[in-house]
Structure 1
Amino acid sequence: MSSELKERVQARRAAIDTELIALSNQLHADPEVGWQEHRSSAAVAEVLAAHGFAVEQPYLGLDTAFRASYGSGAFTVGFLAEYDALPGLGHACGHNLISAMAVGGAIALSEVADAAGLTVEVIGTPAEEGGGGKIELLERGAFRELDFALMAHPAPVDVAEARPFAVTHWHVQYDGKAAHAAAYPERGVNANDAFLIAQLGISLLRQQLPGSVRVHGVQTRGGEAPNAIPERTEGRWYVRAETMEQLLDLETRVLNCFEAGALATGAKLTVTPESARYAEMRTDEAALDHYRANAMALGRNFDVDPVAATMNRASTDMGNVSQLINAIHPYIGVGGDASNHQLEFAAACVGPAAEQTLRDGATALAWTALDVALERAV
């Protein structure tokens, strides 16, 4: 029965290839950043609605989130779609392909929903790139009706298991006092010096941190004029660790470096979380075995250079979903030499190679969801 159903799934996916590629290209050509993905989320939802899915949008009070559902079976599978782009880099993380693979997998699986006792859902999740859209949805009650959640993420090469860091996202701000840098420097409180001291402290701290820990960020505002003591400086900083437990301990040490900048200069420090913390991934290993076998049956290769495979360490708010729902988050290769968050990778997420990745990803996800449902349905 399984092989017959899989043939039907693959045939349905092949029948909509043109639509899937057009959707991916449309998203890629019109990138929108987190929480602003109005055209993107609408485009994804419209394709699903055209194929018989009941669409709820906005979803749970979030304008750029949606929920699309098909069927009424006892086992509910949820494909998660991401469509936010990176500021200045467009779809350099390939979220256009994530959405198209989710849509393709869901529509293909809907072909056998009745036969397999399935309810098929696609949940559109905004602001993955630092905004924690899935966490916001979780807090509002999303995902909890799912028996299994899955998505695939573009990368340079195929890697089955996601091993993302837990991560904290901070907006950091120092407020000092402006003054003429030549005439009255003693009247100023230099907010830029505060930031420099903090960054020096973090650089020195790194020597004493575990090798897997990551602390990195950018200063987004450093001052307005070279002859004026900077009154305000701002930046965005991420702290990553293997687990949430390790992350909480690490946060204190990094915050001490920012406090040192304030103490040394007299500037006022304000640290504001940009989202809830992203958790590490709790992978459904049995489901991942199914994905690996299905992807290999389509010709995907997991025997890759470990140096090229490290995108699976990137943090994701899918980790928070996986803490509550059985889930997988494999990475699927688009080929080439570029890596995620480079302009060259954005270019690699359209064209013939990316289109093959889209076909394989949609089919592998649908087959995996079918395997899991047939194996676990009561």
Structure 2
Amino acid sequence: MSAGERLHQISEDELPAARRQTARAVNAIGKELVGLSHGLHAAPEIRWQEFRSAERISEMLRELGFQIEMPFGKLDTAFRARLGTGSRHVGFIAEYDALEGIGHACGHNIIAAAAVGAAAALRDLAGELDATVEVIGTPAEEGGGGKIHLIEDGAFDHLEAALMVHPGPANSLYARPFAVAHFDVVYTGFAAHAAAYPHLGTNAADAMTVAQVAIGLLRQQLPASTRVHGIVREAGSAPNVIPDHCRGSWYVRAADLDELEATFERVRGCFEAGALAAGASMEVVETSPRYSEFRNDAELADLFAVNAQTVGRDMDREESVGGGMNTASTDMGNVSLVTRAIHPYLSIDSLPAVNHQKEFAQAAVSPAADRAVIEGAYLLAATVEDFLRS
């Protein structure tokens, strides 16, 4: 936040009396929450490398009175912060990994700061609500599936609800993500002089080219609910040497895990066709557990939307925007199969910039992004308060 800019605060004027304490609690630490968001943004760390980020977030929670477990669930950059001894356990989910090459272009700095603020806002209410409040720090959302590893260790089994917010170019109440498989494809051929002895070589890069053509043709027969996309990371080192190695990283997405499995096998066939045509060998390695579709909890979503109206956010219940960031894949979908969950999107007024663009990374520390931190913290806390009192 630059000098002279006024920190956004939740106005109490339009809030019911029962909500003013929560708003005051968020406003009281608003400067610190925005500072956390900006600090994470300034020092981005990619999946599985978020050591400074996890420490920074957990240290702030420790100062707020939470008990910290880190590492957590066998993951060095995961943590759990816990406060209260109530019988009803609720969790706010923090993400904090950045994207390779473009930093916080998905705004995970905002997600983490909002989760901290939401948990802090409920500190004085935990006893009254019979609640145990947690923040679970989940690494490697960007292609590593950190939450899925934590699920396997039972980290979410005891939670009655898990909630988070995500920044985007528009408000959206419901997460509608694709299930996704992340994988690398490696072709191995045989090097040779490309002019003098081409007949002695086996071109691994040709195998990838054939596979890409086959995938392009396959798309005509794929359902509209699927996506296939990838990049070539290595494909030879010199134009006069037939490449003996080629590696690409690919995603297959689909409406749910069942459709994903069927689509993945068809795409795998395209890569096998490339190997067969070029005479190369092939290895396919899934680099993350598969992300699932998302099950939105209707009660939590309704409570969130009502609270959002009081701070001037229309959460697009009718999903009129459609096809936007709310369709992006997330391992929070796997959490939604374990416990009640929501994953609303809050606008940071970034258009024409959208997630995973460098311009969105710049927008993730704008005044609108800082507002999303403050309002996201308040809305998560207010939603949990309503849920526990219902």
Tell me which moved more, 232-241 or 301-310: 301-310
Which of these residues, 245, 250, 263, is aligned with residue 258 of structure 2?
Answer: 245
CA deviation map 1:16-60 (0-9, x unaligned):
011101100000000000000000010010110000000000112
Aligned equivalent of 2:360? 345
Aligned equivalent of 1:311? 325
Matches within 5 A, 1:244-263: 244-263=257-276
Aligned equivalent of 2:335? 321
CA deviation map 1:142-178 (0-9, x unaligned):
1111110000000001000000000000011001111
Aligned equivalent of 1:286? 299
Which of these residues, 257, 266, 276, is aligned with residue 279 of structure 2?
Answer: 266
**Mapped partners of 1:240, 1:330: distance in 2:** 20
Aligned equivalent of 2:48? 35
Question: What stretches of structure 2 of length at least 5 have no aligned partner?
Answer: 1-14
Does residue 117 (structure 1) correspond to residue 165 (structure 2)? The answer is no
**Mapped partners of 1:117, 1:305: distance in 2:** 35
**Mapped partners of 1:19, 1:309: distance in 2:** 34
One-letter amino acid of the structure 2 residue matched with residue 216 of structure 1: H
Deviation for aligned residue 1:309: 5.8
8 Å contact kept, 2:308–2:315: no
Does residue 10 (structure 1) correspond to residue 23 (structure 2)? The answer is yes
Report the 3-state secondary structure (helix = DSSP H, G, I; strand = E; otherwise coil) of the residue aligned with 1:67: strand
**Mapped partners of 1:27, 1:111: distance in 2:** 27
Aligned equivalent of 1:371? 386
Deviation for aligned residue 1:308: 7.0
Matches within 5 A, 1:1-378: 3-303=16-316, 306-307=320-321, 310-337=324-351, 338-375=353-390
Deviation for aligned residue 1:302: 3.0
8 Å contact kept, 1:157–1:308: no
TM-score normalised by structure 2 residue count: 0.94
Identity %: 53
8 Å contact kept, 2:172–2:319: no
Report the 3-state secondary structure (helix = DSSP H, G, I; strand = E; otherwise coil) of the residue aligned with 2:324: helix
**Mapped partners of 1:285, 1:302: distance in 2:** 14
Describe the shift of the 1:308–1:241 C-alpha distance in structure 2 as closer, same or farther (beyond 3 A). Answer: closer
Report the 3-state secondary structure (helix = DSSP H, G, I; strand = E; otherwise coil) of the residue aligned with 1:123: strand
One-letter amino acid of the structure 1 residue matched with residue 326 of structure 2: N
Figure out how many residues of one structure are paired with residues of the other and give that number. 374
One-letter amino acid of the structure 2 residue matched with residue 313 of structure 1: T
Deviation for aligned residue 1:336: 2.7
Tell me which moved more, 191-200 or 207-216: 207-216
CA deviation map 1:120-139 (0-9, x unaligned):
00000000001000001111
RMSD of aligned alpha carbons = 1.3
The structure where helix makes up a greater share of residues is 1
**Mapped partners of 2:150, 2:361: distance in 1:** 27
Report the 3-state secondary structure (helix = DSSP H, G, I; strand = E; otherwise coil) of the residue aligned with 1:105: helix
8 Å contact kept, 1:163–1:314: yes
**Mapped partners of 2:384, 2:207: distance in 1:** 51
**Mapped partners of 1:12, 1:302: distance in 2:** 23
CA deviation map 1:189-227 (0-9, x unaligned):
100000000000000000111112100010111111000
8 Å contact kept, 1:78–1:150: yes
**Mapped partners of 2:339, 2:297: distance in 1:** 9
Report the 3-state secondary structure (helix = DSSP H, G, I; strand = E; otherwise coil) of the residue aligned with 1:111: helix
